[in-house]
Amino acid sequence: MTDVLQEFKQSGALLEGHFVLSSGLHSPRYLQCALALQYPADAARYGHAIAEKYLDEGVETVASPAIGGLVIGYATAASMNVRFIWTERQNGEMTLRRGFKLREGERILVVEDVITTGGSTRECIAAISGNGGKVVAASSIIDRSNGIADVGVPRFSLVSLDVPSYEPDVCPMCAQGIEAIKPGSRTVSSV
Ligand SMILES: [Zn+2]
């Protein structure tokens, strides 16, 4: 799926320019995966592309961390014709709720939309493992870590995307006098 990034640009899920991220850091790229998953046919294609990698892994269940992983996780599970469950934060801790039960040793594929540091995937894996599941692999549409994120199980992403970020005082776009935009609002930063 080499055209994933092109599709992300077309849907507005990947913006290029000069952005203020929610962290306050500046970046020439901004990613909002939800926009690439608005149409079920697109989500189904990405899910199918992930599922194809795991046909021989004996995956019994796909699990995703809410909210970001829900759409792509469901699409992947639908392609594999296995069940889909999710973990979610309760008082800040990723937990398995809603009556979802795992069999001891049940083979689980964890799926997310974007892996940045791998934090939410690792937390999802811990919640699944803590309930008896055996996480055999983790996957995402986008890898923003340059392949570095280590989640403790084999990992695969459809595409790798470098999203550099800078403190505002060393931002090269700021140095060029380019206006910084805060995605999701119409606010234009004064820096
Ligand atoms: Zn900047």
Q: How far is the CA of 30 from the centre of ligand 1 (A)?
A: 13
Contact present, 18 and 179 (Cβ < 8 Å):
yes
**Ligand 1 centroid – CA 27 distance (Å):** 7
Non-local CB neighbours of 177 within 8 Å, separated by 6+ positions: none
- Ligand 1 centroid to Cα of residue 84, in Å, is 40
Coil, strand or helix: which one is 142?
strand
For residue 39, report the distance from its CA to the centre of ligand 1, in Å.
32
165-182 as b/e: b if 16+ CB within 10 A: ebeeeebebbeeeeebbe
pTM comes to 0.89
Instruction: Give me ligand 1 centre to Cα 186, in Å.
Output: 16
**What are the tens digits of pLDDT across the range 140-182?**
999 998 888 999 999 999 999 988 889 999 999 999 999 999 9
For 57-78, how does the pLDDT look when each residue is reduced to its tens digit (9 = 90+)? 999 999 999 999 999 999 999 9
